[in-house]
Amino acid sequence: MSAANLWSPQMAEKIQEARVEVCRLHSELIKWGLVVWTAGNVSQRVRCEAEDGSEDVLVIKPSGVSYDELTPADMVVCDLDGNLILGDHAPSSDTDAHAYVYRHMPEVGGVTHTHSSYATAFAAVGKPIPCHLTMMGDEFGGEIPIGPFALIGDDSIGRGIVATLKESRSPAVLMQNHGPFTIGKNAKASVKAAAMTEEVARTMFIALQLGDPIAIDPKLVDSLYERYQNVYGQH
C-alpha cells in the first residue's frame, strides 16, 4: 500500500520527502564516524493538519539493515505509539523510545541515536560531559546530562530521555551504559546535535587527561547560549 492511500495528499507528499531526508541523514552518521555496522538510527516527525483532524507520524530507519543498502523506500513509517503503518521492514529497535519523545515533547521534530565512542564512554562511567568549552555553551547551554539506565524493548528509554531533557537546555542526553540520544526541530538538527556531542566529548576527554579544565562562569554560558541560538548564522 502506498502513502497516498493512507493519508491526505499533502501528508503523503511530506512523508515521501521525509523518507528521502531520513535516508540521506543516515549517511551523515557514517560520514562523521558516529556509528558502526547497523547500530544507530535517525527519525523525523511528520505532521499535517487535515480537514478531518491532524495527522502525526514518524519516519525511521528499519532494524538491522546495513547503511550502504538503505534507500528511501526502506524507511518505515510508524504512528506515535511505535506501531508500523507503512514499510517492508521491521522498525528500528529504538522506535518506542523515539515515539515516546514525540508524544511528550511536541516541539521535537527529529531524534537521533548513536553509539559514538567518546560520548558513549562518558555514558559507560555515568558522567555528564562538563561544560568547559564555549562551543558547549553555544550548542548545549551547559553540560550534557546523564540519563538513567534503561533496557530496550519498551518506552523506558524514551521516559528517561524526556525526564532528563525536560530539566536541561541540552539537545543531547547520555543514557547510562547505552549512549547518546539527541533531539532537534527536525531530523537534520538532531543529527547535527549528535555530531557536536561526539566532538565535545572527544575534546573534553583529552582535556581531562591534561589536567583540570577551567570552568566558565554560568552567566557567560547563558550569554553564549543566547547569542548562538538567537543571533548567530542566517535568519
Q: Count CA atoms closer than 13 A to 98's CA, side-chain side.
A: 32
Active site residue 138: yes
Non-local CB neighbours of 190 within 8 Å, separated by 6+ positions? 42, 110, 111, 112, 171, 182, 183, 184
Reported in sequence order, the residue ranges of 116-178 that DSSP labels E, i.e. its strands, are 146-147, 172-175
DSSP conformation class of 158: H
| DSSP-assigned letters across all residues of 49-104 | EETTEEEEEEEEPBTT--GGG--GGG-EEE-TTS-EEE-SSPBPTTHHHHHHHHHH
Cell of 143: 553540560
| Given 56, 74, 79, 138, the catalytic residue | 138
Angle at 116 between CA 139 and CA 231, to 5 degrees: 10
Residues 125, 131, 135, 141, CA torsion sign:
positive
Q: Are 168 and 197 in contact (CB under 8 A)?
A: no
Is 232 one of the annotated active-site residues of the chain?
yes
Q: Which residue has the cell 562551543?
A: 135
Residues with a known catalytic role: 138, 232
